Chain A
Amino acid sequence: MIRLALTRVAWMVPILLGVSVVAFLLMRALPGDFVQASAGTTELAPEALDTIRRSLGLDRPVWEQYLDWLARVLAGDFGTSFVTQRPVLDELLPRLLVTAELTFFAGLMALLLGAGSGLAAARLRGRVDWLVRTVNGILLAVPNFVFATLVVLLAGLYFPEVGIFNYTPFFTDPLGNIGSMLLPALSLALAVSVTISENTRAAVLEVSSQDFVMVARAKGLLPRTVLRNYLVRNALTPVITVTGLQLASLLGGSILIETIFTIPGMGQHLFESVTTRNYPVIQAIVLVAATIVLLVNVLVDIAYARVDARVRYD
């Protein structure tokens, strides 16, 4: 088990290195740089543009910029933001916590909604199943930003007294903070909950048709015991995988959700940094997000080993 964990973690190093190259090159391959994006139609002499580029180190060859950046990242220095001239890491860490909180709430909601509705659909069938699948179909078709925009517009129109933009930092007012996170987390959770719900339903249905479940029922075990010990435990493996993999969707979704609800998280930061071509910030966020997704995948692998004996002996 420890070996499994260590191998998986060791694999992260080359993957992250690859991600760093891609993040670095992709942003620079995009036409238009920070200097151009921020100046807009403001007229600047070509020499002035060159001076600004030189001051940001953008005039050097890309590989040289990359190696320099990588060396400093390994030493824990992610550089300074082009826009605010502050250290990237100082700006990113508080935002990372905000996104972590949002993702946690969204993930929790998605899991409860998804696993609950999936299980109900599979066990009760009939009308409940029809209802769950119809709702799932609709939610799958509506992107999270459309839902979020609707929430924002309708709240502004019909409940102007509910301050949906009053993001409160956790340490100022913990309850207010959680309250301000609910709607954004729900907007983020809905689409993800569909995937979990459909997978749970399929897994439970598949497991219920297995012989050992019939045997367990035939033995006269209580339905509750059959559900807990035979059905859910066995149906859990695919659900865990899916939930883990959905973290990437949650992180990706947070980009638009945070922008719409004006939550000062990592996603909002990324959105702004891409439009302004704020390279140091984009690179740092891509690296941090990749690390998180990889770490969660490792955790999913380990969790697998806990519930599924076959993985343990591989």
Chain B
Amino acid sequence: MSHPGPTNEELELWLPTVALGVQRRSLLQLALMGAGLAASPSLLAQSGVPKRGGTLTIGADADPIGLDPVTLTAFSSYDFTAQLYTGLLRWNAEMKIEPDLATGYLAPNDTTYIFRLRQGVKFHNGQPFTAEDVKHTFDRIMDPASASPSAVLFASVKAVTVVEPFTVKFELKAPSATFLSYMATNPNGVIVPRGVVDLRTKPVGTGPFVFESYEPGQQFVLKANPNYYEDKQPYLDTLVFKFFKDQASLVSALRSKAIDMTWFKDPKVSAQIVKGSRELVSAPGKTSRTFPVWFNIKAKPLSDVRVRRALSLATDRKACLQTVLGSGAGKVGAMVPESQIGGYDGVSPLPYYKTDVAAAKKLLTEAGYAGGLDLGDYIVVAANALDVQCAQILQQQWAAAGIKVNLKPMETAPLIGLWLKGDYTIMSIALSWSPDPDAIVSRLLSTHSQGKGIGMADAQLDKMIEDARAILDVPKRAAAYQQIQKHVADQAYLLQIYQYPLRWEAWWSYVKGYVPLAANIRTFVRAAYISK
């Protein structure tokens, strides 16, 4: 399943052709990077001889909004770009970075990466893939007119140069530990062909599946790419996404085999349905995001650290976890989910994490709120049943310490507007998956638009976050993020309640070879086959 990296001989062979610096990192080191979560061996052991042909039907809960990886902003599109496009690097099943359209790379110094590309790869329209396409892709990302969300992620890139037809050089402004993570992430780091317009509706990539047809709200059909570069893959002839916007319909469709595979937002639903039939496989959830309670600390009373600490002490995170997700489906959370570098393991002690209502009351009294405190509206995403449930529990827990909140479930679109501007007192919205912890903690920077909005002004934290971004050594970087999390918990800038998977995947056991990723991007459909 995993692609063998180039051997040392191979690397040496092309070394003379490029300028070589003193320091270089090989793929061996690359394999050590990335997040340290081991995939369940039982899933990887779903071996056997892959069968060719057939159709896999996936139940999807949202339509894509645009299929141009450079401009798309909607998470719902990722599932489709994951089949259509590939990038120079990719995440493997263990969430480690491995080469994809690249065969290897060299890092002569901390700010230069030279990639050697696969030869003989063709885009779906027959156009050959070369280093020019890589340059074209990053030129588009950096062009302000594209309004690409990837531009923020690749802000560290200074220049992309074509060295040879199959060699491309990335120069960075400063050492960046996030660069490779984003390069490996679909759709941010995927390559688009030159001279093709309107990828939004007519996608052309190098991925294992080719776009066939799309009926909005009904189905999205892809055919196997006969020119796909990976040996024998994909095994399927056809891949169909059918859309079900209602969770009950999705459950029913999976049970009746109208679809072969889907995912659920609620682990209890997933557990229930798998209990119903032995032939259903449910993926063990990999925690990929957290459920936070965001505070606006610009004004009283939340500008007072004692009040925030009191809220943290009044919170029983384990009770939330057990009631909302059920047993074994998640862990207590901090800023960084476990599947990322420096992620929180869910058990290590963190400041103000131990529930202590008496201590909370004492802090409140010190802060001058002996008679209790009313924080007003606590805004939550109405569409996410899990979020609302957790918020209800938190409301009760805080009430026990004398802190009152008024639950206000809200539609997602306006809620995000308030969240980005910092226009709230307390709010809960979970982030979708991001490949690097930097994307999560950066929102607390005093220079970040969101950090400004909520009144962040912690020079020490700013420095910690900016330093962690540039640490290339993985264990050191992990330690840096653990320090950041400790600091955030100590100051209680926000509360992190639990960490959990974005989705819980489930499929019929006749679908073999599939591996779910913590990223919840279905890149492993390329290795899936049907064996009834």
Contacts and interface: CB of A to CB of B under 8 A. Distances in A.
B252 A45 contact: no
A160 B257 CA distance: 8
Interface stretch (A223-231, A259-267, A288-296): A259-267
B148 A85 contact: no
Q: How large is the interface on A (under 10, 10 to 19, 20 to 34, 35 or more residues)?
A: 35 or more
Given A160-B256, A160-B257, A32 B415 contact: yes
Contacts of A160: 255-257
Contact of A31 (B66, B214, B414): B414
A179 B246 CA distance: 21
A254 to B, nearest CB: 14
Contacts of A262: 217-218, 242-246, 249
A44 B245 contact: no
A211 B413 CA distance: 62
A277 B74 CA distance: 13
Contact of B65 (A30, A46, A161, A276): A276
Contacts of A85: 66, 200-201
A43 to B, nearest CB: 6
Contacts of A39: 73-74, 149, 416
Contacts of A81: 216
A155 B253 CA distance: 10
Nearest to B449: A46
A275 B415 CA distance: 13
Contact of A269 (B73, B217, B258): B217
A33 interface: yes
A242 B420 CA distance: 48
Given A32-B414, A32-B416, A42 B200 contact: no
A5 B478 CA distance: 77
A44 B215 contact: no
Nearest to B215: A264
B416 to A, nearest CB: 5
A36 B421 CA distance: 12
B152 interface: yes
Nearest to A35: B73
A84 interface: yes
A259 B245 contact: yes
Contacts of A164: 252, 256
Interface of B: 63, 65-66, 73-75, 144-145, 147-149, 151-152, 200-201, 214-218, 242-246, 248-249, 251-253, 255-258, 276, 411-420, 429-432, 439, 443, 449
Interface of A: 30-33, 35-49, 51-52, 55, 81, 83-86, 91, 149, 152-153, 155-157, 160-167, 259-262, 264, 268-269, 271-272, 275-277
Given A36-B413, A43-B439, A271-B245, 15 more contacts: A32-B414, A38-B74, A42-B73, A42-B432, A43-B152, A48-B144, A48-B148, A84-B201, A86-B201, A152-B246, A152-B248, A165-B242, A259-B246, A262-B249, A268-B245
